[in-house]
A = this chain, B = another copy of it.
Amino acid sequence: MPKIDPWGDVEITDYEATMEQFGIEPIADLEDRLPDNRLVRRGIVFGHRDLNTVLDARDEGDSFAMMTGIMPSGVFHFGHLGVVEQVLMFQEMGAQLTLCAADIESYATRDMSLEDARELVVEEYLLNYVALGLDLDSTDFYFQSQAGNDHQVRSKLFARHVTQSEFEATYGNADPGKMVSALTQYADILRPQSPERGGPKPTVVPVGIDQDPHVRLTRDVASRYRDAPYLKPASTYHRFMRGLQGGKMSSSDPKSYIALTDSIADAKRKIDEAKTGGRVSVEEHREKGANVEEDTVFELLAYHLVEDDDELRRIRTEYESGAMLSGELKQIAKNRLEQFLRDHQQKREAARPKVEQYVAEHAEAVR
């Protein structure tokens, strides 16, 4: 049985087996209750647990929440966009938004100083989130290291409700840094339901499936903790985009991703060097057509650069038939990327004064 390690490097390829193993339901069943969303439509967001509790609350006019975390681990790239688009979907649905910057976790598990984490969070995450449409004013954004006494204490009280064996079965070991990070994350996930934030309410956490262990143990803690009532959090799951060279998209390998702060020239060069499903010769390509499943550039288009399904279908058909060459596909991607990055980077700089002021009001170092 494959373990999923939130701190590891596991590549999830067999999503169906994983869903079955961990009781994750297909999100397609709830699609008509959700706003129209490219990622849901295309099965990129593919699974959920208890999302209906959130949708029921929305339908009843009750309050509900969305919570997600930022793990400051390098530049913000297209692989991070899936979560942000879900955040924006829940924002559109009227969820209370909670956004947590995991600086305690990056300190405890990645040896990053709180100061470096803070800078990374602002430059690489918050500016991009806001440029993409996050309404910071109606979001409970916080750094873990500044979450307040009660939040920290709650994470410590949760320790009574998890055993060392559960930790080891879930995370592989009971390393102190990991344990403290995990406990803090349970408090983060349950924060929208804390007594000072109105108490229990359906809460959805959009996560990569590698983060599911946190969700599962948080659900256990929510049901075991007796000092305040918490509902088990719901969750949604998305597929990971592969790296542009094939394999995993990784913050430590700049050629594997396009950052939202990449220059247009760099971004185009990465597309030029990306792994495609094109054949070795034009003749063979015209004859057999592209292997779209293998094509990282097509994946980028499908995930984030082509909104219209008909248009994507047309591209796919032409590419698969051999009528479109890899170079032509790449040219489409480069054009879209140029437009996207130019537009985004402008918005990003426009967001800077607001974000910096917001953070200055929220940030004080702990030593």
User: Which residues of A are at the interface with B, using a C-beta cutoff of 8 A?
Assistant: 104, 107-109, 111, 113-114, 144-154, 156-157, 159-160, 162-164, 167, 173-177, 179-181, 183-184, 194-195, 227-228, 366-367
Is B156 a contact of A108 with CB atoms below 8 Å?
yes
Q: Which residues of B contact A151 (CB under 8 A)?
A: 149
Minimum C-beta distance from A92 to chain B (A): 32
Inter-subunit contact A104/B164 (CB<8 Å) = no
Task: Name 17 A/B residue pairs within 8 A (Cβ), A-sorted.
Answer: A104-B153, A104-B157, A108-B156, A108-B157, A109-B160, A114-B227, A146-B153, A149-B149, A149-B151, A149-B152, A152-B153, A159-B179, A159-B180, A163-B175, A164-B176, A176-B179, A195-B367
- Contacts A180-B183, A367-B195 given; does A108 touch B159 at CB 8 Å: yes
Q: How far is the CA of A174 from the CA of B194 in the complex (A)?
A: 28
If A146-B149, A366-B149 touch, whether A160 touches B227 (CB-CB below 8 Å) is: no
Nearest CB of B to A32, in Å: 38
Which residues in B have their C-beta under 8 angstroms from that of A148? 149
Q: Whole-angstrom distance between the alpha carbons of A73 and B181 in the complex?
A: 29
Docked-complex contact A160 and B108, CB < 8 angstroms? yes
Once A366-B154, A367-B195 are accepted as A-B contacts, the answer to whether A176 and B159 lie under 8 Å apart by CB is: yes
* A162, A167, A175: most-surrounded residue (chain B CB, <10 A): A175
Q: Give A176 to B228 CA distance when docked, in angstroms.
A: 20
CA distance A179 to B173 in the complex (A): 14
Kindly list 18 other residue pairs between chains A and B, CB separation below 8 angstroms, not including A147-B149, A153-B366, A159-B179.
A107-B160, A108-B159, A108-B160, A109-B160, A114-B157, A146-B153, A150-B366, A152-B153, A159-B176, A160-B176, A162-B176, A163-B175, A164-B173, A164-B175, A167-B176, A176-B179, A194-B367, A228-B367
By beta carbon, the residue of chain B nearest A166 is: B176
Give A111 Cβ to nearest chain B Cβ, in Å.
7
Contacts of A183 in B (CB 8 A): 176, 180
Counting from the closest, the 3 A-B pairs by CB-CB distance are A152-B152, A228-B367, A159-B176
- What's the Cα separation between A145 and B227 when bound, in Å? 14
* Residues from chain B with Cβ under 8 Å of A147 in the complex: 149
- Interchain nearest-CB distance for A83 vs B (Å): 24
CA distance A175 to B159 in the complex (A): 9
Return chain B residues, CB-CB under 8 Å to A159.
Answer: 108, 176-177, 179-181
Across the interface, do A156 and B104 meet the contact criterion of CB distance under 8 Å? yes
Task: Tell me, in angstroms, the Cα distance from A144 to B152 when the chains sit together.
Answer: 11
- A249 to B228 alpha-carbon distance, docked (Å): 36
Q: Which residues of B contact A108 (CB under 8 A)?
A: 156-157, 159-160
In the assembly, what is the distance between CA of A160 and CA of B162, in Å?
A: 20
Closest Cβ of chain B to A109, distance in Å, is 8
Residue of B nearest to A103 (CB): B153
- A259 → chain B, closest Cβ, in Å? 28
Q: Smallest Cβ distance from A44 to chain B, in angstroms?
A: 35
Asked if A152 meets B156 with Cβ closer than 8 Å, knowing A164-B173, A167-B176, A179-B179, the reply is: yes
Q: How far is A146 from B180 in the complex, measured between Cα atoms in Å?
A: 18
Contact across chains for B177 and A174 when beta carbons are under 8 A apart: no
Closest beta carbon of chain B to A186's beta carbon, Å: 11
Complex: chain B residue closest to A173, CB-CB: B164
Please indicate the chain B residues that have their CB under 8 angstroms from the CB of A104 in the complex: 153, 156-157
Q: How far is the CA of A227 from the CA of B114 in the complex (A)?
A: 9
